[in-house]
Every structure is written in C-alpha cells, then in structure tokens.
Amino acid sequence: MTIFTARANYWQRNLEDSQKINALSCRRTKEDGTIVPGVALFSGYRVTTILDPADALRLANELADALARPAVNE
C-alpha cells in the first residue's frame, strides 16, 4: 500500500539527502546514570535522532519490507 508519493521537483534533493543518511551504534545515558546501547541516526554530521535498539530493529524491518514491496509496482 502506497501512502506517500514524492513530487518530481524534489527528485535531486531526495537523492542527495538519502546519500547523507547513516546510522552508528551509540551509548545512551539513563536518568539514573546507567549507560545503555542505542542507535544514532545522522544526516551528514548532524544527529537527527537516537533510537532504542528495539525501535532500531523495528525500523530496519520496516525498511526491508518497503524495499521488498516497491510502490512503483502498485
């Protein structure tokens, strides 16, 4: 099911932005000072969000599902 269609006038920008997105493991500090693992998402050198490992895995599965069902075939 396609729920989003990117407009043609954003083609080049979307290509450039997608090449800048990456992820790295990170450490998160809980309120009590405990260090726990996480995943940092970056756009270029800017951190865009920090994910809990369970949410990172959920997102990875959603990305894989999206690739397995290309919207252009609908």
DSSP 8-state assignment for residue 5: -
Where would I find the beta strands (DSSP E) of the chain?
Answer: 21-29, 35-43, 46-51
pLDDT in tens, the chain (74 residues): 667 888 999 999 999 999 999 999 999 999 999 999 999 999 999 999 999 999 999 999 999 998 898 777 55
pTM of the complete model beyond 0.85: no
CA dist 40 and 50 (Å) reads: 5
DSSP 31: T
